[in-house]
Copies of this chain bind each other. A is one copy, B any other.
Amino acid sequence: MNSETFAICEQIVSTAYVRQGVQARRTHEQLIRLLLEKGKCPEEGWEESTIELFLHELAVMDSNNFLGNCGVGEREGRVASGMVGRRHYRLIHGIGRSGDIAAVQPKAAGSSLLNKLTNSVTLDILKLAGVRMVSSCFVVPMATGMSLTLCFLTLRHKRPKAKCIIWPRIDQKSCFKSMITAGFEPVVIENILEGDELRTDLQAVEAKIQELGADNVLCVHSTTSCFAPRVPDRVEELAQICAKYDIPHIVNNAYGVQSSKCMHLIQQGARVGRIDAFVQSLDKNFMVPVGGAIIAGFDESFIHEISKMYPGRASASSSLDVLITLLSLGINGYKQLLKERKDMYVYLANELKKLAEAHEETLLETPHNPISLDAKASSLRSKSTVDATTFLGPQKYLNCVCLCRVVPRGSVQTVNGYTFKGFMSHASDYPCAYLNAASAIGIKKQDVDLFIKRLDKCLKTLKKEAVNVSQGTETENLNSQNDVDVEELCEI
């Protein structure tokens, strides 16, 4: 409504009441104006009513919602199902143009604003989360892995000779496959064991560069967020090596936005050395549905080159999710979530330590990993009497019930033709089996408490089981995942 319509309203209900209403409306509009003006995440989260009002305003600016529209093109933003239209707030046109995923679209001012604002607001959040020097970013509706692929494909055009990517090992399939899919050969650098921690072998990296020749290396592909006992890569030093040899550096920061340590590593890397782009998952850092990522960097023109590599218009769904989420949280809400996560990490560490001690196990010492923790699992360790099959039961058991990971020793896996010894443990021969838990964004105290309770019960069961096994007793129940009674455990 506008001043003209309000004047009419005053003739229907009293002037005074309408004026109050108009002033009330202005409080919402004021928020919207500020967002558009600053392009930053608001301090305080918005009410749902303001967010919905804003999205409605955007939607009516798109041509598919233009009431006098006549469509004789090949794509007109028509939607067959009302359910579908509504769930996208009638923002149908997606983001970007065939030439550039970050570009504005002629027929869709609303969707274009959504795209630009989302990129602007997420940039603001990346800065706040610790990478103060970041200069450009864009949201892409693809998995972190696929987004890394897009970065590598972009680099190919700059380094046509390069065939391989140097990659300090991390046992996670997507990031490994991101290199394979892009058509490059991953050169795996094994981590070195320092105390309980697995850390980047900087000397091996540099040696490998010299061996291969810098021109033959597309980039170094490092990782921040990871499961303990692996810890974030020595990003700062890797960035310096990259600068020294003039090799691009892409950082997989999958769920690192939630950790000030991970973000600090990237900030430092960019300050003292070279980082071309860093990629983070939307769902893991912003509590939105799976499927989007942010590609960010320090050189606007390079980030723009990446955005121009996406052929076609992309789904606005991930952008919409993250924008709604950040508007509803506000900076304060997001900071609060980060704080809670950190607090819960400490709490989880303490509780896990107590439990481990009660079961005569120890917590691995991994001070450099700000998110995840491990308890040694001797009771789970494969003894001569407990063969691999036997072990499978408890592992799945814990995975599914407690939603944590049990990592055995010595499992071997082949991914796209590459064989990994000790897969899942980030090392060919990590000294022990262990159980991994993480304090990720959104975690609550009751999650930790329930986990500790269940784990306690599990460990007791498993020990009894282990005794039985060593005595030759049947363990069928635990081996068969189908028999895991989730419900029973949840009633703990």
Contacts and interface: CB of A to CB of B under 8 A. Distances in A.
B143 A314 contact: yes
Nearest to A373: B72
Nearest to A172: B98
Given A145-B98, A443-B72, A315 B290 contact: yes
Given A19-B482, A87-B88, A399-B106, A72 B451 contact: yes
A297 to B, nearest CB: 18
B290 A314 contact: yes
Contacts of A481: 16
A473 interface: no
A181 to B, nearest CB: 5
Contact of A317 (B20, B83, B106, B317): B317
A36 interface: yes
Contacts of A283: 75, 92, 94
A73 B13 contact: no
Given A141-B291, A289-B317, A446-B70, A5 B33 contact: yes
B144 A312 contact: yes
A316 interface: yes
B24 A66 contact: yes
A60 interface: yes
Contacts of A47: 65, 67
Contact of A80 (B117, B310, B442): B442
Contacts of A313: 143, 174, 290-291
Contacts of A462: none
A74 B289 contact: no
A142 B289 contact: no
Contacts of A312: 142-146, 174, 177-178
Interface stretch (A229-237, A318-326, A379-387): A318-326
Contacts of A175: 311
Interface stretch (A124-132, A193-201, A401-409): A401-409
Contacts of A442: 71, 76, 78, 80
Interface string A172-193: 1111111011110000000000
A5 B18 contact: no
A69 interface: yes
Interface stretch (A48-56, A209-217, A267-275, A356-364): A48-56
Nearest to A143: B312
Interface stretch (A241-249, A423-431, A432-440, A464-472): A432-440
Chain A contact surface mostly: helix
Contacts of A441: 78
Given A29-B2, A482-B15, A79 B110 contact: no
A227 B75 CA distance: 12
A346 interface: no
A70 B402 contact: yes
Given A71-B440, A283-B75, A403-B69, A487 B289 contact: no
Interface string A95-106: 100110000111
A23 B486 contact: yes
B255 A73 contact: no
A403 B325 contact: no
A388 interface: no
A433 to B, nearest CB: 18
Contacts of A208: none
Nearest to A84: B321
A389 interface: no
19 contacts: A4-B33, A9-B113, A12-B39, A12-B117, A23-B486, A52-B56, A66-B490, A68-B491, A76-B440, A80-B442, A87-B321, A88-B321, A92-B289, A99-B415, A141-B141, A142-B142, A144-B312, A149-B311, A291-B317
Given A8-B33, A74-B284, 11 more contacts: A1-B57, A2-B29, A21-B109, A23-B66, A25-B61, A47-B67, A51-B83, A82-B82, A84-B321, A174-B312, A317-B318
Q: Which 3 A-B pairs have the closest CB atoms?
A: A291-B315, A143-B312, A94-B290
